[in-house]
């Protein structure tokens, strides 16, 4: 599925949501969530080739794959958190969306600690 089909799916879903929102808001929200998940799955499927390319480049550059893996996890968390927070905002639950974003930031910081530590160790070794 290419970008035109994804955009088309989004527009069609939006039209249905606008039409149903006043009559059946729960069905409109369900359509929104299903559409978002479908788009997310399609896009996530294309990420495997990107990850493979990045692994090849990291291997050639001699970069530890643990760092690349951590960076990819951080990017994944950011996308998932954004997706979940936007669904909550669409449902009018901005307070829950804020909590999801906070949890995502904490998870990202937790994953980044080894990278930050390695970077600081490198800086200390370089400094006289």
29-81 confidence digits (pLDDT tens): 899 889 988 988 888 878 888 888 888 888 888 878 888 889 889 998 998 99
39, 71: one domain: no
- 44, 69, 109, 127 from 121: Cα distances, Å: 34, 20, 18, 10
Where would I find the beta strands (DSSP E) of 37-95? none
The CA angle 28-34-36, to the nearest 5 degrees, is 100
Pick the most confident of 6-10, 101-105, 113-117, 122-126.
101-105
Cα–Cα distance measured from residue 2 to residue 42, given in angstroms and rounded to the nearest whole number: 9
- Is 93 among the domain residues? yes
Complete DSSP assignment for 11-40: HHHHHHHHHHHTT-HHHHHHHHHHHHHHHH
- Is 57 among the domain residues? no
Structural tokens at position 99: 């909590």
72, 127: one domain: yes
Q: Tell me which residue range forms the domain holding 119.
A: 64-128
Q: What is the pLDDT of residue 95?
A: 95
Band (pLDDT 50/70/90 cuts) for residue 1 is low
Residues 6+ apart with CB under 8 A from 91: 29
Residue 90 has pLDDT above 90, yes or no: no
- Is 6 among the domain residues? yes
Cα–Cα distance measured from residue 41 to residue 98, given in angstroms and rounded to the nearest whole number: 24
90, 120: one domain: yes
- Is 98 among the domain residues? yes
Residue 24 has pLDDT above 70, yes or no: yes
């Amino acid at each position: 599925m290419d970008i035109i089909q994804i955009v088309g799916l989004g527009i069609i879903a939006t039209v249905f949501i606008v039409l149903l929102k006043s009559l059946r808001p729960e069905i409109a929200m369900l359509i929104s969530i299903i559409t978002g998940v479908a788009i997310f799955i399609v896009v996530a499927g294309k990420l495997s080739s990107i990850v493979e390319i990045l692994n090849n480049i990291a291997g050639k550059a001699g970069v530890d794959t643990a760092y690349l893996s951590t960076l990819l996890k951080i990017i994944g968390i950011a996308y998932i958190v954004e997706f979940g927070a936007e669904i909550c905002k669409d449902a009018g639950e901005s307070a829950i969306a804020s909590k999801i974003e906070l949890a995502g930031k904490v998870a990202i910081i937790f994953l980044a600690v080894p990278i930050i530590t390695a970077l600081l160790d490198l800086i200390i070794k370089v400094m006289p």
